Amino acid sequence: MKKFALAGNPNCGKTTLFNALTGATAHVGNWPGVTIDKREGIYKKLEEPVEIVDLPGIYSLSPYTPEEIISRNYILDEKPDCVINIVDGTNLERNLYLTTQLLEINIPVVIAVNMIDIVAKKGDAILVAEIEKKFNVPVVEISALREKGIHVLMQKALEASLQTRDAISVLEDSKLAPLINKISALLLERGLNNPLFHAIRFIEQDDFELKKHHDLIETADEIKETIPVDGFGDDYEGLIASLRYKYVAQNFSRAIVRKIQNTTVTKSDKADRVLTHRLWGIPIFLFIMLLIFHLTFGSDLLLLNSIFGLQINGDFWTMLFQVEAGSGIPSPGVFLQSWVIYLLEDLLIPFVASWINIAWIQSLVADGILAGLAAIFSFFPQIMMLFLFLSILEDSGYMARIAFIMDRTFRRFGLSGKAFLPMMMCFGCGVPGAMATRTLETEKERRLTLMVSPFFSCGAKLPIWLAFGSLILGGQHGTFVVFSMYLLGIGVAIIAAILLKKAAFKNEASPFIMEFPSYHTPKFSNLMKYLWDKLKHFLFRAATVIAASIIVIWFLSNFSWAFWTGMVTIENSMLASIGRFIQPIFIPLGFGIGSDGWRFVVGIFSGLIAKENVVATLEQLAGSGGIATLIGSMDLASAYSFMAFNLLTIPCMAMVGAVIGELSKKRYVFETIGFWLAASYVVSLVIYWSIRFWWIGVSLLATLLIIVIISAVIHRPRQARV
């Protein structure tokens, strides 16, 4: 089977093209030795099936980041039958820099000019014949989002794969041509594959090439002395980059025919003036997120119910919305959740229980497995809806702007806006968020990001906030309870990063350069594929880790240490004795107080396996009164303390494993886990006592403000005396 590789800059539409080509055949793994996603799939619409490999998004083949190393090594070592180079038609010149490097490898290349629909919408045009003439490779116009031109692209790629292609370089007519030709000829004599590519990398003083061919350094230096490189000194890498950009600008600026030259203000530009404003950018982002949370978790839609005074009356409507007469219209998320609860708890579980006559089997299946899974699946519609809204923000191009906005804030405590992207990924799942830290430039920045990323609430923690939000404060402010937990995580992450920077990470943030993709309407099929991936992940965890945990918890909560004597009440179970032994540690945090304290302690420890287990565990430990009675027995301070601890403490074992894989030293692992435990305990302690005695919290804030002001005055830079 032939193998085609997709290569291109970030935000060029490469992943969209991959999804359009592979559809349901796509699968995700890891590249050997690293945790960066490896995406592969099959395209079946040619004369023969073709394997598609989606390489990480890169700006060049210079081996400085893990993505660049992966892409370079794959093309050079695996030798795919064709490389499909996706370039953004709205930013053609910048994207062709990578193309100039790909053409220096002896491998078939086809250029796909993407987003041609956006180019046409602007009234512009791209002369693909000019690009084909200069590069001597096929060039195809496509719209990956609209799935236009992709079959033609694949046919061209198949035709190209049947032919050999000799490497060319845009530097062949430059001042470096004699040096490149000499080094390339010497490497060819040694039988090295792709001598042109390696020769240029050698001249750029790539460490790997210099070590491998150190005996050629003297020869290269002799030739370099005859070449004028004014303004670059011995920076040949900078010189070659300059020559590449100069070639692209001189040869392809005319390939773009613009409707209006240099005066066009696009709709994206107009939107960015508001959405990326220095003052209003972050408040607008917070408002958008609050609106999303309200549509997902609100017990009633404030706009409809408060302003228009809408109420639900009548048997049919109260049954449809699963609410009491006189209630307001619930949010779409709560509406779907109500039906899931009705189907599972009111229909499925009683039906299954009625068919089981053996007491302990009935308890295991109905009260254990099904009740625990029902507690998790009752929040599934809201989790999927939140993921849907976040994916819309991502696909529309808005999330890239948020990273840019947050760069201004993050840079103050040693992180760049690039670090915000892994953190944002943690809102979905912490594992890919941890993996994404591999893109950060320095080890200190990666470590700092890994230490605070779990504070960004993942989807697995969402059932905890939903359960408590629907029960505390009368259940009328669920939106704000959930939203407050997300804000708490972000706030603690920022404070923790500032403290860590002062104590152990005294470094400057790495430079952050990002190209904004144009705003566009997300494609429905892409959104559904994203949700399907989340659904599969959720179902897999429910069928394996969570189900196994529920069975273990059921056994521990229904049998004593003398388990051969038969089932016992939960108060006399093994789980109760374990929970009571650990309970005193959490008494200062509020939720460890009282006869039910051990239940919440056990819930926390079950969450170390998977955070979804917390709600399932509390459901099993609640007894006849159910989880509503158990949580309802807590005061506001204890409830928020419990949620804060689960938010900040050690994440699930899957993310712990991902973090361990990203840390270079064992001592960093113990430091990170210790930091999570300390942060969760201290913050929960402060929250509990601040709510219980609000005046203490006010005093602490006032004291902190005074310390900050005094510190600012003391450390204010003084003007030098003249």
Lookup: tokens for 478: 């669920």
Lookup: tokens for 643: 């949620």
pLDDT at 478 (0 to 100): 67
> Could you give the CA distance from residue 433 to residue 443 in angstroms, rounded to a whole number?
16
Proportion of the chain above pLDDT 70, given as a percent: 72
Lowest mean pLDDT among 400-404, 432-436, 517-521, 664-668: 432-436
The model's pLDDT over 429-451, given as tens digits with 9 standing for 90+, comes to 666 567 667 656 567 777 887 88
> Could you give the CA distance from residue 198 to residue 297 in angstroms, rounded to a whole number?
56
Dihedrals φ, ψ of 295, to 5°?
A: -70, -25
User: How is domain 2-161 classified at the CATH fold level?
Assistant: Rossmann fold (3.40.50)
Average pLDDT over residues 550-574: 76
Give burial (CB, 10 Å; 0-12/13-18/19+) of 570: middle
For residue 13, which of 98, 92, 87 has the smallest C-alpha distance? 87
Contacts of 337 (CB under 8 A, 6+ apart): 378, 379, 381, 382, 466
> Regarding beta strands 37-43 and 27-30, do their DSSP bridges make them parallel or antiparallel, or are they unpaired?
antiparallel
Looking at every residue in the chain, the average pLDDT score rounds to 76
Give the CATH class of 177-251: mainly alpha
Are the C-beta atoms of residues 452 and 497 closer than 8 Å to each other?
A: yes
Are the C-beta atoms of residues 638 and 478 closer than 8 Å to each other?
A: no
> Could you give the CA distance from residue 275 to residue 288 in angstroms, rounded to a whole number?
11
Dihedrals φ, ψ of 486, to 5°?
A: -65, -40
Dihedrals φ, ψ of 357, to 5°?
A: -100, -20
Residue-range domain boundaries for the chain: 2-161, 177-251
> Could you give the CA distance from residue 194 to residue 543 in angstroms, rounded to a whole number?
49
Q: How far is CA 704 from CA 361, 641, 708, in A?
A: 57, 21, 6
> Could you give the CA distance from residue 201 to residue 203 in angstroms, rounded to a whole number?
5
Domains 2-161 and 177-251 share a fold: no
Lookup: tokens for 21: 């080509």
More confident residue, 692 or 658: 692
pLDDT at 472 (0 to 100): 72
For residue 651, which of 457, 500, 423 has the smallest C-alpha distance? 457
Are the C-beta atoms of residues 398 and 519 closer than 8 Å to each other?
A: yes
| 203: enclosing H helix or E strand | helix 195-203
**What sign has the CA pseudo-torsion 532, 538, 542, 548?**
positive
pLDDT at 248 (0 to 100): 85
The model's pLDDT over 40-53, given as tens digits with 9 standing for 90+, comes to 889 988 888 999 99
Average pLDDT over residues 315-322: 56
More confident residue, 86 or 631: 86
